């Protein structure tokens, strides 16, 4: 029998394709030759092709990225999702954090408002070390913020500001390798920046209009759906190679790209939160809807519903519309500051479960338990079953979470509170 260590390199590279990541790390410990071969970039490129959570092949830390992706995927597939680590840091002492986002691979962005709004960049790998801050002096942040889906793009962040003369503009900012924020340009407009996808900036009004602005060429494409006579504010704009899905509070609109032809529309009614993800492997969209729960006389539970928008069948182009209901999850009704939901392209999702309420003998409403961050995986690549598998990640006795963000590929979560605290969680 030929020893593994004496096999030709091309045979070993072929065998490594059939190993699990953990097996490769164990084999690495046996001798120097196997160690050197296991460190080859091609080994980790091959592993990446077999993973559900894929990594950037150009990353200088490809092996570490693949090992993390393998570990996170295994947790989801096991049905037992729990934090591997977490830490909390103080971002502000006297003001609430109104938004928090992951930026590129290393940074966390927080937005806080006092006399003026302030954007701050923190290094999560250094346990929340502050890198820089920026404030639109003489102007107020209007709450509309987008972070580029392309980590290599120069324009990282787009925000909407209003100056003392009530003039609005979108400011594009970059974040360098040291975490420093810098202004790239200012675009006078009343539209809200809802998505940054490489050089494409999606700007939306409060009704039916969307403009795609190319930050490199300054070219624009207008996407127009049927006029509405009510406010229908934008939530997100999601791109596929051939279409654009404009997501609004009361409707979603599908457009062909780059022709800008309006294909179809659909309404989910009144919603508290909605998240849309595009999966490049299936070329389909998924929509997670959290229905509005303002009516105190309705049932004690509300639903989160997952819908799919699959590609058209056969030789037809485009997508099947309207969205197809897939599965739903129950959640208690209750007051919360952050009704946001986040759906990843591989079928994992995050939302905040509000604290429960119960009526006691004197008919006064008593708060029970705490608000909880819930992580769920829907049936699909990371869940071979037919039911949603959910886990409670962490709870908050103060019930004051204001914002959160989620990086599905790396299993990272960040949560902000009205006390100025930021909690970082790693799966």
Residue 52, domain member (yes or no): yes
Q: How far apart, in whole angstroms, are the C-alpha atoms of residue 276 and residue 290? A: 12
Last residue of a domain, one of 78, 98, 116: 78
Residue 9 lies in a domain: yes
Answer yes or no: is 423 within a domain.
yes
Least confident residue range of 124-128, 149-153, 218-222, 364-368: 364-368
Residue 129 domain-assigned? no
Q: Looking at residues 2-8, what average pLDDT do you find?
A: 86
Q: How far is CA 312 from the centre of its chain?
A: 26
Q: How far apart are CA 259 and CA 312, in angstroms?
A: 18
Digit-coded pLDDT (tens) for 220-257: 999 988 777 678 899 999 999 999 999 999 999 999 99
Dist CA 415 CA 87 (whole Å): 11
Which among 361, 352, 343 is positioned nearest to 399, based on CA atoms? Answer: 352
Count other Cβ atoms within 10 Å, centred on residue 364. 7
pLDDT digits (tens, 9 = 90+) for 79-117: 989 999 999 999 998 889 999 999 998 999 999 987 788
Q: Is the pLDDT of residue 301 over 60?
A: yes
Q: How many CA atoms lie within 13 A of 230 on its CB side?
A: 6
Place of tokens 């490049």: 280
In a domain, 13, yes or no: yes
Q: pTM score, two decimals?
A: 0.92
> Is 321 a member of any domain?
yes
- State the average pLDDT over residues 133-154: 91
Of 142-146, 215-219, 235-239, minimum mean pLDDT range: 142-146
Could you list the residue range(s) of the whole structural domain that residue 275 is in?
270-427
- Does residue 360 surpass a pLDDT of 60? no
Rounded CA separation 157/144 (Å)? 11
Q: What's the structural domain count of the chain? A: 2
pLDDT score for 358:
55
Burial 326-358 (b: 16+ CB within 10 A, else e): beebebbbbebbbbbbbbbbbbbbbbbbbbbbe
Point out the domain boundary residue: 78, 106, 127.
78
Q: Are 194 and 179 in contact (CB under 8 A)?
A: no
CB atoms within 10 A of CB 201: 26
Domain end (from 30, 50, 78): 78
- The verdict on residue 39 lying in a domain is yes
What are the pLDDT digits (tens) for 164-215?
A: 899 999 999 999 999 999 999 999 999 999 999 999 999 999 988 999 999 9
Task: Tell me the CATH number at 36.
Answer: 1.20.1280.50
Q: What is the pLDDT of residue 296?
A: 56
In a domain, 135, yes or no: no
**Residues above pLDDT 90, as percent of the chain:** 74
Strand partners, 203: 193, 211
Q: What local confidence, expressed as pLDDT, does residue 205 receive? A: 93
């Amino acid at each position: 029998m030929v020893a593994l260590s004496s096999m030709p390199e091309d045979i070993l590279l072929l065998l490594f394709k059939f190993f699990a990541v953990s097996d490769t790390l164990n084999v690495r410990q046996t001798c120097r030759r196997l160690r050197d071969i296991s460190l080859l970039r091609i080994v980790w490129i091959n592993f990446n092709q077999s993973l559900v959570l894929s990594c950037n092949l150009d990353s200088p830390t490809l092996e570490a990225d693949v090992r993390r992706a393998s570990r996170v995927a295994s947790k989801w597939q096991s049905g037992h999702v729990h934090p591997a680590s977490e830490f909390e840091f103080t971002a502000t002492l006297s003001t609430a954090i109104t938004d928090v986002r992951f930026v590129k691979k290393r940074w966390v962005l927080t937005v806080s408002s006092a006399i003026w709004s302030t954007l701050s960049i923190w290094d999560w790998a250094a346990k929340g070390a502050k890198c820089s801050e920026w404030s639109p002096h003489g102007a107020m942040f209007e709450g509309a913020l987008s972070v580029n889906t392309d980590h290599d793009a120069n324009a990282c962040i787009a925000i909407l500001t209003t100056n003392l003369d009530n003039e609005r503009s979108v400011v594009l900012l970059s974040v360098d390798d040291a975490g420093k924020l810098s202004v790239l340009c200012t675009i006078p407009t009343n539209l809200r920046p809802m998505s940054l996808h490489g050089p494409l900036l999606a700007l939306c009004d409060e009704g039916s209009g969307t403009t795609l602005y190319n930050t490199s060429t300054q070219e624009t494409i207008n996407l127009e759906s049927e006029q509405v006579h009510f406010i229908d504010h934008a939530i997100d704009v999601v791109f596929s190679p051939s279409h654009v899905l404009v997501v609004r509070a009361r409707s979603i609109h599908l457009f062909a790209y780059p022709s800008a032809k309006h294909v179809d529309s659909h309404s989910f009614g009144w919603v508290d939160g909605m998240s849309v993800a595009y999966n490049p492997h299936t070329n389909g969209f998924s929509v997670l809807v959290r229905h509005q729960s303002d009516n105190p006389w309705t049932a004690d539970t509300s639903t989160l519903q997952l819908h799919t928008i699959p590609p058209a069948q056969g030789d037809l182009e485009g997508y099947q519309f309207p969205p197809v209901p897939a599965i739903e999850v129950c959640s208690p009704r209750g007051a919360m500051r952050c009704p946001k939901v986040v759906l990843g392209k591989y079928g994992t999702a995050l939302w905040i479960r509000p604290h429960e309420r119960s009526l006691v003998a004197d008919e006064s409403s008593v708060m029970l338990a705490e608000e909880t961050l819930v992580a769920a995986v829907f049936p699909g690549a990371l869940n071979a079953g037919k039911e949603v598998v959910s886990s409670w990640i962490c709870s908050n006795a103060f019930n004051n979470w204001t914002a959160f963000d989620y990086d599905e590929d790396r299993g990272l979560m960040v949560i902000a509170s009205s006390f100025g605290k930021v909690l970082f969680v790693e799966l």
